[in-house]
């Protein structure tokens, strides 16, 4: 037994994580893959790394020092269950099985419970940062027991990205907490990507600028408060020219967005928890809408507005002005999306009894992951100042930014509506914001309607109790049992 950590599953993410582990002082990495060829390829390509290969689960277990610690990096779903079953057979109580895939957190809760009965520790661990992150330093979100964290923590700290001098890993909470937070991370990722895409689309329609020119705009934005990985790569994608046609690649790529499901999970879970993550939902639905060519085809000639951008493009100062308005609207909408995501994490923690430190989560998002951004420092500061902050966007820094964005945000949403340019994430973020701000909401009318047709009762602003109006009788009000 010579290895202190093992990796099962040597596709790109697994190999890169194994290489990252092997590159750190003190680690010897046991590697195993279902088919031998992947293991051979890894060893051949990286003779410099200290790998201990195995070709059976028995040998893999034997190559690990105790407590045995193995990270599973296989496709989420049944393959994960299969590997867990095999490892449970060859591991012993006190050993640690880690799932580093994008598992659904409820699967992680189920697996943790089942594995715990054998005395083996089970850790569901979110890993973000794509292939490069896995190799050079991802953001890592482990759940699982304190006992497992004691062994795993130092190893993970050694391979995680570093932001502001701190490793981007924290013990998020027990059982499925890590995968829950990774899921919401992905939901936020969807919202951020959609907002950026809408910003690009609006600028293009309003100014007629080319993708390469808009790449310059994003590169410029990346030097300010919007600085982030997603803004940075947006500039790169927009600048890319298709080798075959000589056209901007973004004009050649089919405009139907794929999704592997984590965005949908975030929304489904939010619906169950009753948390309005409207920005994330709109971003997820925007991908769905894009991916229905048959519906889009028959809808192309539906009536639209008389006036639209594109008839006459804005130029010079007018173009600069609209671009700055889009920037502010993007920033404000982004604040809303992150605030909603953190709200979901808080609600999940309450529901599943996880002690999640939102400040610590915002800190590990600062480096390594797809949503890494300058802005995460502001979120961390907000939670440092007030750990129990009920709505993230009410933190002083964000209030200031939202204040600055007021008229541009509203202007951009109205312009998009007037011109018939879809901007679902921009506009839903603004609607959410105004909903939060509203002194009175028409929810009172909804309650009246519910009481009318279903005797669902309502509460009053001026006294305690639950009431029902006898709508089909003499319309007097009676006290009634609360039926929700
Ligand atoms: C990350 C990403 C990653 C995710 C892909 C694909 O944090 O590294 O979130 O885990 O799986 O980005 O997501 P979609 O295919 O759903 O867009």
Q: Is 189 a catalytic residue?
A: yes
Q: What are the structure tokens assigned to 289, written together?
A: 């809408």
In angstroms, rounded to a whole number, what is the distance separating the alpha carbons of residues 168 and 102? Answer: 18
| 481: Cβ contacts below 8 Å, ≥ 6 apart | 457, 466
User: For the segment 444-468, what is each residue's pLDDT rounded down to a tens digit?
Assistant: 999 999 999 999 999 999 999 999 9
Specify the residue for token string 């002690």.
Answer: 355
Ligand 1: centre distance to CA 291 (Å): 18
Q: Which of 101, 102, 229 maximizes ligand 1 atoms within 8 Å of its Cβ, making it the mutation to test the pocket?
A: 102
- State the SS3 of the chain: CCECEEEECCCHHHHHHHHHHHCCCCCCEEEECCCHHHHHHHHHHCCCCCEEECCCHHHHHHCECCCCEEEECCCCCHHHHHHHHHHHHHCCCCCEEEECCCCCHHHHHHHHHHHHCCCCEEEEEEEECHHHHHHHCCEEEECCCHHHHHHHHHHHHHHCCEECCEECECCCCCCCHHHHHHHHHHHHHHHHHHHHHHHHHHHHHHHCCCHHHHHHHHHHHCCCCCCEHHHHHHHHHHHCECCCCCCEHHHHCCCCCCCCCHHHHHHHHHHHHCCCCHHHHHHHHHHHHHCCHHHHHHHCCCCCCCCCCCCCCCCHHHHHHHHHHHHHHHHHHHHHHHHHHHHHHHHHHHHHCCCCCHHHHHHHCCCCCCCCECHHHHHHHHHHHCCCCCCHHHCHHHHHHHHHHHHHHHHHHHHHHHHCCCCHHHHHHHHHHHHHHCCCCCHHHHHHHHHHHHCCCECCCCCCCCEEECCCCCCCEEECCCCC
The mean pLDDT value for 102-124 works out to: 97
User: For the segment 211-238, what is each residue's pLDDT rounded down to a tens digit?
Assistant: 999 999 999 999 999 999 999 999 999 9
Of 106, 110, 51, 73, give the one whose Cα is nearest residue 273.
Answer: 106
- Kindly tell me the burial class for residue 300, based on how many C-beta atoms sit within 10 Å of its own C-beta (0-12, 13-18, 19 or more): exposed
User: Does the C-beta of 62 come closer than 6 Å to ligand 1?
Assistant: no
Bridge partners, residue 53, by sequence: 31
Ligand 1: centre distance to CA 196 (Å): 16
pLDDT attached to residue 443: 98
Q: Is 182 a catalytic residue?
A: yes
pLDDT attached to residue 307: 72
Residue owning the nearest CA to atom 9 of ligand 1: 186
User: For the segment 395-451, what is each residue's pLDDT rounded down to a tens digit?
Assistant: 999 999 999 999 999 999 999 999 999 999 999 999 999 999 999 999 999 999 999
| Beta strands across the sheet bearing 51-53 | 51-53, 29-32, 5-8, 69-72, 96-99, 121-128, 139-142
The alpha carbon of 256 is separated from its chain's Cα centroid by a whole number of angstroms, namely 20
Radius of gyration of the chain (CA): 26
Residue owning the nearest CA to atom 7 of ligand 1: 128
In angstroms, rounded to a whole number, what is the distance separating the alpha carbons of residues 408 and 405? Answer: 5
pLDDT of 7 strictly over 70: yes
User: For the segment 303-346, what is each residue's pLDDT rounded down to a tens digit?
Assistant: 999 876 666 899 999 999 999 999 999 999 999 999 999 999 99
User: Does the C-beta of 187 come closer than 6 Å to ligand 1?
Assistant: no
Q: Hey, how many other C-beta atoms are within 10 angstroms of the C-beta on 254?
A: 8
Q: What is the ipTM of this complex?
A: 0.97
User: Does the C-beta of 455 come closer than 6 Å to ligand 1?
Assistant: no
User: For the segment 43-101, what is each residue's pLDDT rounded down to a tens digit?
Assistant: 999 999 989 999 999 999 999 999 999 999 999 999 999 999 999 999 999 999 999 99
pLDDT attached to residue 245: 98
For helices 262-273 and 316-352, angle between their N-to-C axes, nearest 10 degrees: 60
pLDDT attached to residue 38: 96
pLDDT attached to residue 453: 97
Confidence of residue 482 (pLDDT cuts 50, 70, 90): confident
Q: Which of 260, 286, 288, 366 maximizes ligand 1 atoms within 8 Å of its Cβ, making it the mutation to test the pocket?
A: 260
Percent of the chain's residues with pLDDT above 90: 96
pLDDT of 484 strictly over 70: no
In angstroms, rounded to a whole number, what is the distance separating the alpha carbons of residues 391 and 437? Answer: 12
Q: What are the structure tokens assigned to 282, written together?
A: 């709109």
User: Does the C-beta of 128 come closer than 6 Å to ligand 1?
Assistant: yes
User: Does the C-beta of 189 come closer than 6 Å to ligand 1?
Assistant: yes
pTM: 0.96
In angstroms, rounded to a whole number, what is the distance separating the alpha carbons of residues 293 and 300? Answer: 10
């Amino acid at each position: 037994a010579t290895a202190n950590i093992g990796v099962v599953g040597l596709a790109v993410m697994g190999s890169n994580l194994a290489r990252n582990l092997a590159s750190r002082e003190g680690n010897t990495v046991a590697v195993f893959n279902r088919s031998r060829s992947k293991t051979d390829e890894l060893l051949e390509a990286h003779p410099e790394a200290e790998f201990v290969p195995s070709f059976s689960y028995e040998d893999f277990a034997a190559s690990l020092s105790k407590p045995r610690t193995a990270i599973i990096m296989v496709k989420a779903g049944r393959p994960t269950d299969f590997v867990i079953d095999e490892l449970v057979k060859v591991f012993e109580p006190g050993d640690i099985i880690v799932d580093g895939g994008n598992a659904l957190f409820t699967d992680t809760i189920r697996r943790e419970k089942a594995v715990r009965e054998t005395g083996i520790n089970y850790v569901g661990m979110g890993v973000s940062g794509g292939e490069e992150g896995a190799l050079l330093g991802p953001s890592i979100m482990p759940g699982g027991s304190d006992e497992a964290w004691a062994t795993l923590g130092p190893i993970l700290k050694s391979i995680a990205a570093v932001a502001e001098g701190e490793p981007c890993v924290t013990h998020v909470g027990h059982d499925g907490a890590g995968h829950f937070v990774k899921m919401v991370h992905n939901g936020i990722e969807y919202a951020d990507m959609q907002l950026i895409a809408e910003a690009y689309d609006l600028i293009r329609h309003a100014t007629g600028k080319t993708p390469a020119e808009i790449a310059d705009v994003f590169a410029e934005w990346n030097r300010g408060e919007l600085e982030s990985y997603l803004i940075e790569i947006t500039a790169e994608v927009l600048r890319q020219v298709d080798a075959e046609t000589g056209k901007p690649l973004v004009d050649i790529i089919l405009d139907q967005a794929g999704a592997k499901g984590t965005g949908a999970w975030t929304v489904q879970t939010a619906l169950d928890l009753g948390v309005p993550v409207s920005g994330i939902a709109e971003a997820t639905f925007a991908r769905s809408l894009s991916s229905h060519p048959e519906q889009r085809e028959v809808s192309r000639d539906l009536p639209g507005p008389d006036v639209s951008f594109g008839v006459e493009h804005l130029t010079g100062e007018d173009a600069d002005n609209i671009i700055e308005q889009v920037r502010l609207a993007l920033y404000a909408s982004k604040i809303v999306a992150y605030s909603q995501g953190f709200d979901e994490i808080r609600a999940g923690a309450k529901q599943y009894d996880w002690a999640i430190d939102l400040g610590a989560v915002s800190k590990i998002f600062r480096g390594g992951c797809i949503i890494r951004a300058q802005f995460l420092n502001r979120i961390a500061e907000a939670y440092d100042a007030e750990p129990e902050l009920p709505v993230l966007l009410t933190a002083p820094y964000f209030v200031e930014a939202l204040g600055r964005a007021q008229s541009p945000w509203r202007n951009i949403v109205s312009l998009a509506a007037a011109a018939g340019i879809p901007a679902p994430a921009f506009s839903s973020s603004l609607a959410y914001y105004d909903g939060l701000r509203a002194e009175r909401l028409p929810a009172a009318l909804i309650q009246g309607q519910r009481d009318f047709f279903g005797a669902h009762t309502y509460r009053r602003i001026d006294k305690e109790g639950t009431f029902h109006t006898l709508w089909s009788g003499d319309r007097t009000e009676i006290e009634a049992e609360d039926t929700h």
